[in-house]
Amino acid sequence: MPARFGGGWLRGNRMKKFCVVGCMTAILLAAGGMRAQQAAELPALKQEAAAEVDKMQLLTQQMVDEIFSFSELGFQEHETSKYVTGILEKNGFHVERGVAGVPTAWVATYGSGKPVIAFITDIDCIPRASQKPGVAYHDPIVEGAPGHGEGHNSGMAVNVTAALVLKKLMDEHHIGGTIKLIPGVAEELLGTKAFYVRAGMFKDVDIVLGAHVESEFSTSYGTGNGEWSGLVSVQYFFHGKAAHAAGAPWEGRSALDAVELMDTGWDFRREHLRPAQRSHRVIINGGDQPNVVPSEAAVWYYFRELDYTHIKDLYDLGNMMADSAAKMTGTTVDHKLVGSAWPPFLNKVIAETQQKNIETVGMPKWSEADQTLAKALQKEIGAKVEGLKEKIDPLAEPAKKPTGGGSDDIGDISWNVPMVYLMYPANIPNLPGHSWANGVAMATPIAHKGSTAGAKVQAMTALDFFLQPQLVQQAWDYFRDVQTKEVHYEPFLSADDKPAVEMNKEKMEKFAPQLKKYYYDPGRYKTYLEQLGIQYPTVKTQP
């Protein structure tokens, strides 16, 4: 169970230094008074935070551009983690590396006592999404290489900027509490956050403020717009017997046959599953060459549904089909869970607080060049041409009937501690997602300005909770009395499941040397666009 904020709450950082034995009660009263006084100053403090974020625009832009240039796939975010933790350590944060058995995962901490506010955001990228920023058509930096075709390169710029500003304000105004930063490693594989929870990383955390790139500026609560599913990601490895495929096929047992029969079985069964399910697969090993009966073959499934019970049902069904396919083909099968995610459920109290900050900060001011890039890209890919968003929508009620859709492993965190997920406006609307097109804006002024706006909201929302203990209490009341009243978290992980940290290793080893030539050098170039010699925006001329 996550800890509720308790006795440590009033202990400010600086207060501790001046305390002598016996003075605790007086100090607590004084600190309580201090926090009340600070709460009165909250609007001014938030304004100061926003002004400080503005002063840090150069570093924010550099982080966006640098992480974009690293382009690292899930579990292989070595350069990204080294770079970000370097900045945090230089600024006085304590960093613990290799947490939860994941080499590229870490926790950076500053401050002490309650409340503990954790910032989380993803850092991994997408296979084959390499793309020159600021160019409104497909033009990879390195052909076939991974790239930030999801925009995760901007998240740490948001959270680190916010954390550095908070640290400054906490020091200057003697604000007590603890900041933690955590990276979403291998989010695209739904690969780590359930392991983070299992490792107890959120046990002492009071509030989690997640951030994710979007084309809009928004937050949500409950099941949000209903377009979220949970999932399990499972790889099935079939083992058969090799033989000459023409000379003695009767001696062989084909593992590939089992993969194909499992797929056929699943596709027939699909008609009889709930419409809310989403399931898809890739064959990760289809054998070596046609004249050898494949002794090894493997298929990788994502099974998605709206809640734990239905996801578990799909998982059991998948396992049954794999066993049946093995029986039919005289092969054997074993499976490995490589990712899992509960559907996210976000906290109403934090969302309402955050929404006010979103409205105070407002949308970034887009330039004509930003809009030109956005419209040219929308036209290029055949999407609705409407440029960048200019307006903020009010906080919406959660969807009455969730339909399901994509997944995010923050879901597991959201069922263990009150959490929201800020969507900050750093990308172009109407894009397909997980593709080169989603990388186009991600090292341009669109991403830079959107990240600055996001950092302001993160810092301001953290101040709301640092200075108003009753809000933390209310967030936990909602978590306990509404969210988890009837639904209780059960992990999909078994005790034996381990993070799939070897995934993407070969791919990254292949591409990292080529990508390295294009790593951003902020010492020599003001922006990554400048380094690549890209005119902003580069769009196709009209016919």
What is the token pair recorded at 427?
């990308």
Residue (50 or 338) nearer to Zn ion, CB? 338
Residue 148 or 375 with smaller CB distance to Zn ion: 148
Choice between 190 and 417, CB closer to Zn ion: 190
The full 3-state SS of 104-168, as one line of letters, equals CCEEEEEEECCCEEEEEEECCCECCCCCCCCECCCCCCCCCCCECCCCHHHHHHHHHHHHHHHHH
The minimum distance between CB 192 and Zn ion, in angstroms, equals 13
Least Å distance, CB 104 to Zn ion, is 16
**How, if at all, do strands 94-97 and 419-425 pair?**
unpaired
What is the enclosing helix (H) or strand (E) of 316? Answer: helix 308-329
Least distance between Zn ion and beta carbon 122 (Å): 5
**Smallest distance from Zn ion to CB 154, Å:** 11
Nearer to Zn ion, 196 or 536 (CB): 196
What DSSP state is assigned to residue 440?
A: T
109 to 148: interface string for Zn ion, x by CB under 5 A: ----------------------------------------
Beta-bridged to residue 425, according to DSSP, are 214
Q: What is the greatest pairwise CA distance in the chain?
A: 90
Restricting to residues 60-99, which ones interact with Zn ion according to CB under 5 A? Answer: none
Residue whose Cβ sits closest to Zn ion:
150
With respect to Zn ion, which residue has the nearer C-beta, 150 or 206?
A: 150
Q: How many CB atoms lie within 10 A of CB 449?
A: 23
Nearer residue to Zn ion within complex by CB, 32 or 406: 406
Q: Are 370 and 447 in contact (CB under 8 A)?
A: no
Task: State the binding string over 142-181 for Zn ion (x if CB under 5 A, else -).
Answer: --------x-------------------------------
Place of tokens 């304000």: 169
Q: How far is the C-alpha of 175 from the C-alpha of 463, rounded, in Å?
A: 9
Site for Zn ion in 256-315 (CB under 5 A): none
CB of 153 to Zn ion, least distance (A): 11
Q: Where are the beta strands (DSSP E) in 387-528?
A: 419-425
Q: How far is the CB of 434 from Zn ion (least distance, A)?
A: 9
Interface with Zn ion: number of residues (CB under 5 A): 1
Which one, 185 or 243, has the nearer CB to Zn ion?
Answer: 185
The residue count of the chain comes to 543
- Assess contact for 193 and 76: CB atoms under 8 A: no
CB of 124 to Zn ion, least distance (A): 9
Site of interaction with Zn ion (CB under 5 A): 150
